[in-house]
Chains A and B, each alone.
Chain A
Amino acid sequence: MTVATHIAAADASAVCDAPLSTSTSISHDLAATQPENPDAKCIDADSLQSSPTLHYTFRIDLKGASFSGLLLLHDEGETINGCMINEFGVSALDFSYNKRKRKVKLLRVAKFLDKWYIRMTLKRDIGVCLRTLSDPADLAFKGYSVSRESDSVTIINLKRKISYSFTPLAPKPTKDS
């Protein structure tokens, strides 16, 4: 079972532009508006998931290194809070995404990621990733490529050659096995 979220996609190259809602659950911020590009499709709002926290497995690949783990997202209304942890539960990154400003704020960064140039890249890339994650429309972001395979989505920062792959985690069955 896939978990779908929709986040404001009001990037300059996005196909729809709309005022932001103040919904308290993760839903896209596009109200029913006319797209700038009349040929483009507006993103439809999906029904909300019962679980308030969304889980994905992720992998980040760059030249000579890779890092994998879990991405957890929680809608707080005006912001979406997120945590990236490795499989052993060790935190790598905590962040907050402001839906109105469309900006990522890094709240806590593990030491091996805590360099100014890495933080700068992560802020931009995470913003693109969040907007791409569950968006069914193929939005284009300058300097990035997006590809989808089944439930997984891969976003590549073309300049830095960093690849981010995300796959939704199925929620745990409620019955005891």
Chain B
Amino acid sequence: MKKLTVILLLLIATTMTLTAARLTAAQQQDVISKINKAASAMSSMECSFTQTKHLSLLSDKMVSEGKMSYKRPGKLRWEYSSPYKYLFILNGTKVYVGNSSRKDVIDTDNNKIFKEVARIMMSTVTGTALSGSSDFTPTVADAGQRWEVTLVPKKKEMKSMFSKIVLLFNKADLMVAEINIYEKNNDRTNIRLRGVKKNQNVNETLFAIPK
């Protein structure tokens, strides 16, 4: 009986450490404020990323890798290097998407969809999507070394594609470490950021829109 009790307690303790603990509304707001403050203090960011797409239909995954660069106020470069080449650049109101066979430049002032996509990408990566946003309802949980922020879409278009986006912030520096995008079809995309460099000199040419 004593042995069973010990085993049960161990199981409960393990479960408690594995699941993120919900916070009170006040605690959540406090964390969100801290994350917003850290995001406001960030003028640039560079990192590598590994993107893993989990496909429920195929019971398989697709792994791709690349590099990301960000410079305030509105510059983002997202480049896939393996196993395919694909480049996304956001610079002000211009968006460039291209690979070896096709390149497109879109003016977000004339394309509402791309404007929304660009804005959401930027806010998700930098962590500014958490508050004052008409896009998401955030909830925060304590996940040990990290804050787990769950964003539930508010708008119909996003809701039709995604059930939620989960951002994991390192508690040490309040930077996004991981992004999990949950789709309606039970697919999930995990993006892990590595080698993050904050507030360093970022070469402006990285955001130049290719002609």
Contact = CB atoms under 8 A, between A and B. Distances in A.
Interface of A: 52-53, 55, 57, 59, 66, 68, 70, 72, 74, 81, 83, 85, 87-91, 94, 107-108, 110-111, 165, 169-172
B60 A72 contact: yes
A85 B161 contact: no
B102 A89 contact: no
Given A89-B181, A89-B189, A91-B183, A70 B84 contact: yes
B53 interface: yes
A123 B12 CA distance: 50
Sorted nearest first, the 9 A-B pairs with minimum C-beta distance are A89-B189, A89-B53, A87-B86, A74-B58, A53-B60, A108-B185, A94-B57, A111-B160, A169-B83
Interface in B175-190: 181, 183, 185, 187, 189
B58 A53 contact: yes
Contacts of B86: 87
Contacts of A88: 51, 88, 189
Contact of A89 (B51, B88, B99): B51
B53 A172 contact: no
A68 B102 CA distance: 9
30 contacts: A53-B58, A55-B83, A57-B84, A57-B99, A59-B102, A66-B102, A68-B99, A70-B84, A72-B55, A72-B58, A72-B60, A72-B62, A74-B60, A81-B57, A81-B58, A83-B58, A85-B53, A87-B64, A87-B88, A88-B51, A89-B62, A89-B189, A90-B181, A90-B183, A90-B189, A94-B57, A111-B157, A165-B101, A172-B63, A172-B83
Given A52-B60, A89-B51, A89-B62, 8 more contacts: A57-B84, A74-B60, A83-B57, A88-B51, A90-B181, A90-B183, A91-B183, A111-B160
A165 B100 CA distance: 13
Contacts of A108: 57, 185
A70 B58 contact: no
Nearest to A57: B84
Contacts of B27: none
A87 B51 CA distance: 10
A72 B203 CA distance: 36
B82 interface: yes
Contacts of A53: 58, 60
A142 B156 CA distance: 40
Contacts of A72: 55, 58, 60, 62
B136 interface: no
Contacts, number: 70
Nearest to A110: B161
Given A90-B189, A165-B101, A172-B83, A111 B161 contact: yes
A88 B160 CA distance: 17
Contacts of A70: 62, 84
Contacts of A68: 99, 102
Interface string B55-85: 1011110111000000000000000101110
B86 to A, nearest CB: 4
Contact of A55 (B51, B62, B101, B157): B62
A2 to B, nearest CB: 13
